A and B are shown apart, each in its own frame.
Chain A
Amino acid sequence: AQKVTQAQTEISVVEKEDVTLDCVYETRDTTYYLFWYKQPPSGELVFLIRRNSFDEQNEISGRYSWNFQKSTSSFNFTITASQVVDSAVYFCALSEQSDSWGKLQFGAGTQVVVTP
């Protein structure tokens, strides 16, 4: 069963609009980690953010922010004032303490298209 669900296949926005990417995860562990990675058209995977299950504090880092809610098993990611360079596929991933160390379970990804 898919443990990480990214229901949005593609999101298209105009530059300067905000974009929120949804991520819902499933785990029985009390200790786990959640990640967001970005894959631009060039193909590499770029680490963006990581949160652990004990830290629900939501933060803002530049134009990026995230909303981690254990009650709804969601880890949403927002890009504020989007730019063309934000066009990429964004992956949410889960790492569980009880599973193989370091194993990342990825969602299917959300394609973000930002047009000028």
Chain B
Amino acid sequence: NAGVTQTPKFQVLKTGQSMTLQCAQDMNHEYMSWYRQDPGMGLRLIHYSVGAGITDQGEVPNGYNVSRSTTEDFPLRLLSAAPSQTSVYFCASSYLTYGSDTQYFGPGTRLTVL
């Protein structure tokens, strides 16, 4: 199993540009989520999904869109990048079954918005 994969690893954008961060998992996990990590603040939940076709907002959803058309993929879209979105983004996935619902994280995407 490749686990949770994320692309790209690094990205630099100009203010106003759009882009999609890719996340995929091959463990047939129902639950997938996106977090951002900022210095001194730990990780904060952006959006999450409990299955294909079902998404919901987390703590800091503004400026981001998600969709879940398959179990495996959960892309995160930045519609109009802003410097405040400079961060490290992590995707995570897990089963929904109690006891098997520990979340495992991808390697992260470091995004800089100029």
Contact = CB atoms under 8 A, between A and B. Distances in A.
A43 B92 CA distance: 14
Contact of A106 (B44, B56, B94, B101): B44
Interface residues of B, number: 28
Interface string B13-43: 0000000000000000001010100001111
Contacts of B105: 37, 44-45, 47
Interface string A36-51: 0100000111010010
At the interface, is chain A mostly helix, strand, loop or mixed? loop
B48 A100 contact: yes
B107 A43 contact: yes
B42 A109 contact: yes
Nearest to B38: A108
A108 to B, nearest CB: 5
A107 B43 CA distance: 8
Interface of B: 31, 33, 35, 40-45, 48, 50, 56, 58-59, 88, 90, 92, 94, 96, 101-108, 110
